[in-house]
Copies of this chain bind each other. A is one copy, B any other.
Amino acid sequence: MTFDLIVRGTAVLPDGPLEKAWIAVSDGRIAAIGTGEAPPAHTLHDAGDGLILPGIIDGQTHACSYGGLPGIRSTTRSAVAGGITTIVDMPYDNPAPLNTPARLSEKVEAIHAHAHAHVALYGTILPGQAPDDVQPLIDGGVVAFKISTFESSPTRFPRIASDQILGLFSALADSVLPLGVHNEDQEIVRAYIAAARAAGHNGIEAHSASRPPAAELAATAQFLELGASAGAHAHIVHLTTARGFQLVDNYLADGFRATGELCVHYLWFDPERDGKALGARMKVNPPIRPGQIDALWEEILAGRVAFVSSDHSSWPIDNKLTDSIFDAGAGVPGLETLLPAFFTAAEARGLDAPALTVEQLCERPAKFFGLWPQKGAIRVGADADLTVIARTPQVWDSARAHDELRWSPFDGRTFSITVARTYLEGQLAFDGQDVVNQPGDGRYVRRGQSHWFE
């Protein structure tokens, strides 16, 4: 027989690296894995001493916050250039969020029109909206829901009141879908920002204090308890301190379904060290805290982090160049830096970077969002979403990125690897230089059977 595609290199399999491996693809799926001489194939790519990873899954992307549904195009172009084959997109689309089956249909249509990468979707609800649309959205394939306890935008990203959170948790209690939360207490944040402004504080150094850990943790604690009361799966989409993960762990120990997620910038930046140079370029919410990096890695190694994501936002740099940090937009572009940044940081700490990368950026998000075992691992029968990385160091330069934003907090940082190739279901999407697949080659990915809790 002749396979469609063979990729050769060191394959990072679930139980470890296999050197001189070949991955054979037929009909978009992995048909065979072997070592030694490879069988015949129509196309062969030899990655040499490069690593073949399962396609990276970014569990937290904001593709449409800025440019609306067409934002899927540039966002997924950037994704495949970053080795990401699937994004899980947040619901806070511009001008209105994904909160009804009709909006879901529009977004799925936009994916068909624009996507270079696969796209799975979060849903949400608006203030005052009854949970009647929850089940239709589940039937439509959304992988999770998300709300916020802080109003970032009254129409697109509103605060949801406690009673409505409780109602949504109740509507989800019999399902395996998590309800995620942007976890900041609005009263504390608004009062503290007002006080900081009144005191004339304007710089990034005032950002963490203006949205203190207490604001994040109080919202987290309240949300976890609401989820526990309803018997649903509560998910914190970003925790910035070890205390946050301890809180989540207490709920697990008490028999409830609770998880917490990290974003890669919390593992790289420290406002005390980097704030002066980066300013609003490192403004995210909840803020990056001083002195937390080591503690957060400990949480990863202890298995208490559900997975690591990018929280990618497509803000133009103008949005950041404000007089006051409080006027700057929050969020950073991150799809092309997620994989190299995570891998590099793990390696720098002496950890097994390939294994940890596959665990945190592939297996865990796949299982979490119901995409396993079709995605998340190199195994026979799985989708042939593959990411090849070369052990070629690079200094990050956002001017060469594919997101058209031309700025990044990682500019000038050295990564130990380079994304060499990205395949979607056996089709080449990125060749190391250019995005070579077409808008619409990415698919809409519905939630499947896997789930996080037994």
In A16-58, the 8 Å CB interface with B consists of: 16, 18, 21-22, 24, 26, 31-39
Select A162's contact among B26, B218, B226, B247, beta carbons within 8 Å.
B218
A323 at the interface (CB under 8 A from B): no
- Beta-carbon contacts of A242-260 to B below 8 Å, as 1s and 0s? 0100110010001000000
**Which of A118-126, A325-333, A373-381, A396-404 is found at the contact surface with chain B?**
A373-381
Smallest CB separation, A278 vs chain B (Å): 26
A357 at the interface (CB under 8 A from B): no
In A234-293, the 8 Å CB interface with B consists of: 243, 246-247, 250, 254
Among A213, A219, A228, A246, which residue has the most Cβ atoms of chain B within 10 A? A228
A185 at the interface (CB under 8 A from B): yes
- Beta-carbon contacts of A184-213 to B below 8 Å, as 1s and 0s? 010110111000000000000000000011
Q: Which residues of B contact A212 (CB under 8 A)?
A: 166, 229
Q: Which residues of B contact A164 (CB under 8 A)?
A: 191
Q: Which residues of B contact A187 (CB under 8 A)?
A: 161-163
Protomer copies: 4
Contact A31 B31 (CB under 8 A): no
In A165-193, the 8 Å CB interface with B consists of: 166, 185, 187-188, 190-192
Contact A217 B213 (CB under 8 A): no
A301 at the interface (CB under 8 A from B): no
Q: Which residues of B contact A250 (CB under 8 A)?
A: 250, 254
A318 at the interface (CB under 8 A from B): no
Smallest CB separation, A1 vs chain B (Å): 4
A317 at the interface (CB under 8 A from B): no
Contact A225 B254 (CB under 8 A): no
Contact A229 B225 (CB under 8 A): no
Smallest CB separation, A43 vs chain B (Å): 17
Contact B166 A34 (CB under 8 A): no
A76 to B296 Cα, complex, angstroms: 52
In A366-407, the 8 Å CB interface with B consists of: 373, 377, 379-381
Q: Which residues of B contact A161 (CB under 8 A)?
A: 187, 191
A96 at the interface (CB under 8 A from B): no
A14 at the interface (CB under 8 A from B): yes
Q: Which residues of B contact A229 (CB under 8 A)?
A: 212-214, 217-218
Contact B36 A39 (CB under 8 A): no
Smallest CB separation, A31 vs chain B (Å): 5
Contact B1 A38 (CB under 8 A): yes
A214 to B223 Cα, complex, angstroms: 10
Contact B163 A380 (CB under 8 A): no
A229 to B240 Cα, complex, angstroms: 14
Q: Which residues of B contact A222 (CB under 8 A)?
A: 185, 218-219, 221-222, 225
Smallest CB separation, A373 vs chain B (Å): 7
A218 to B163 Cα, complex, angstroms: 10
Q: Which residues of B contact A36 (CB under 8 A)?
A: 1, 26, 31-32
Q: Which residue of B lies closest to A189 (CB)?
A: B163
A98 to B164 Cα, complex, angstroms: 34
A13 at the interface (CB under 8 A from B): yes
Smallest CB separation, A24 vs chain B (Å): 7
Contact B380 A33 (CB under 8 A): yes
Contact B214 A226 (CB under 8 A): yes
Contact A191 B218 (CB under 8 A): no
4 further A-B contacts with Cβ under 8 Å, apart from A32-B36, A35-B381, are: A21-B380, A212-B229, A218-B222, A250-B250
**CB-defined A-B contacts under 8 Å, sample of 27:** A1-B39, A13-B380, A18-B380, A18-B381, A21-B380, A22-B32, A31-B34, A32-B32, A32-B33, A32-B35, A33-B33, A162-B215, A163-B185, A163-B190, A163-B192, A164-B191, A166-B215, A214-B225, A214-B229, A214-B230, A217-B228, A218-B226, A221-B222, A221-B224, A222-B222, A246-B254, A250-B250
**A-B complex: 9 closest residue pairs judged by Cβ atoms:** A32-B34, A214-B229, A163-B191, A221-B225, A222-B222, A221-B221, A162-B187, A1-B37, A163-B188
